[in-house]
Chains A and B, each alone.
Chain A
Amino acid sequence: MKTSREDKTPIQDLSAFHESASLRAVTGPSLRPGGFRLTDRGISLGGFSPGARILDVGCGTGASVEYLRRKYRFSALGIDMSGSLFRKTGEADTIPPLAVARAEALPFTDCCCDGVLCECVLSLVKEPKRAVEEFSRVLRSGGFLILSDIYDRTGCNAFPCSPATSSGCPSTLRSRPFIEALLEDSGFVLLAWEDHTRYLKELVAQLILSNGSPLEFHDLCCLFDSGCAGSPDLRRTRPGYFLLVAQKMTKRETVHG
């Protein structure tokens, strides 16, 4: 019988790890490298107005949604393919607006968002091309996409594949050219790309220091060939962590492209 693990690429095995108590003990509710420092950085690179409607795709605990609402007074909401980490207790007016949905099928109308936030999630998505197309669909013209994730700093995929075939790509540790092509194909123009690999390394190192057994984050350690007997595909890469901000092109830019 085929197991769910066999259906997934090495990076997608990490989706279960995202929901683990061991990770939350290290990262807090943000569940990702850099935490809110990178969220703030992405927001600063965009051009959001007060009250902007921001969609957090892959919102996990909903911590970023709460953070954006509290600090920036954005009209933020979130979706996640699993609602297991959603906070369900507390005063009704403090529970953030969250829903269970997939990045590849966002339950929103066209052009309804000023911004889409997708932090440490796209590498876990089975159909990233479709997901990025959805981001573009729900963003208004001129809206901003803030994307952060793990990537391969070697600049070439271990198993090269075009965005058109990304659903079948065996390696989901993707390169910068691959990611940029996904954006361009969906009508985005890249405004900024920053490398923040040190946050990823700090997270992995802190997990080793904090936990007695590495088995729970075996695949994450193998990203850095830390002695774990992990996927040979991952060991050929040079893992990093990026933050990018892209803007959905307006119709005029599309016509004159």
Chain B
Amino acid sequence: MNFSQEAAVWSCTSCGGELGLIKVGFTYMKGNFEIDLPACAVCGLVLVPENLALGKMAEVERILEDK
């Protein structure tokens, strides 16, 4: 399931709003990144999908660590 599909099946628990994809900037291990993630169109809460947290971020961490 890609992030766009994730946005379609989830709704915001905080305000009940629908989710849409927005560009989210974040810093991790001194690196600056951007990624399109599902976020609430009403209150702005961001959904971090499991495959990102446990999958892609693990790859990112492996690359960023200074081996």
Contact = CB atoms under 8 A, between A and B. Distances in A.
Interface of A: 198, 201-202, 204-206, 208-210, 212, 221, 224-227, 238
Contacts of A210: 34-35
Contacts of A225: 62
B15 interface: no
Contact of A209 (B30, B35, B67): B35
A227 B60 CA distance: 11
Nearest to B26: A209
B47 to A, nearest CB: 15
Interface string B52-67: 1000100110111001
Most B CB atoms within 10 A — which of A208, A212, A227, A238? A208
Interface of B: 2, 30-35, 52, 56, 59-60, 62-64, 67
B41 to A, nearest CB: 22
Contacts of B31: 198, 201-202, 205
Nearest to B32: A202
A155 B50 CA distance: 39
24 contacts: A198-B30, A201-B31, A201-B63, A201-B64, A204-B63, A205-B33, A205-B60, A205-B63, A208-B56, A208-B59, A208-B63, A209-B33, A209-B35, A209-B52, A209-B60, A210-B34, A210-B35, A221-B63, A224-B63, A226-B59, A226-B62, A226-B63, A227-B59, A238-B67
A240 B55 CA distance: 24
Contacts of A202: 31-33, 64
5 smallest CB-CB distances across A and B, nearest first, come from A205-B60, A224-B63, A202-B31, A209-B35, A205-B63
Given A198-B30, A198-B31, A227-B59, A205 B2 contact: no
Given A201-B64, A212-B2, A206 B59 contact: no
Contacts of A227: 59, 62
Contact of A224 (B30, B56, B62): B62
Nearest to A208: B59
B23 to A, nearest CB: 11
Contacts of A226: 59, 62-63
A210 B30 CA distance: 18
Nearest to B36: A210
A77 to B, nearest CB: 32
B53 to A, nearest CB: 12
B42 to A, nearest CB: 26
B34 A206 contact: yes
A239 to B, nearest CB: 10
A202 B63 CA distance: 8
B2 to A, nearest CB: 6
A170 to B, nearest CB: 23
Contacts of B33: 202, 205-206, 209
A78 to B, nearest CB: 28
Nearest to A206: B33
A198 B27 CA distance: 13
Given A209-B35, A210-B34, 4 more contacts: A201-B64, A205-B31, A209-B56, A224-B62
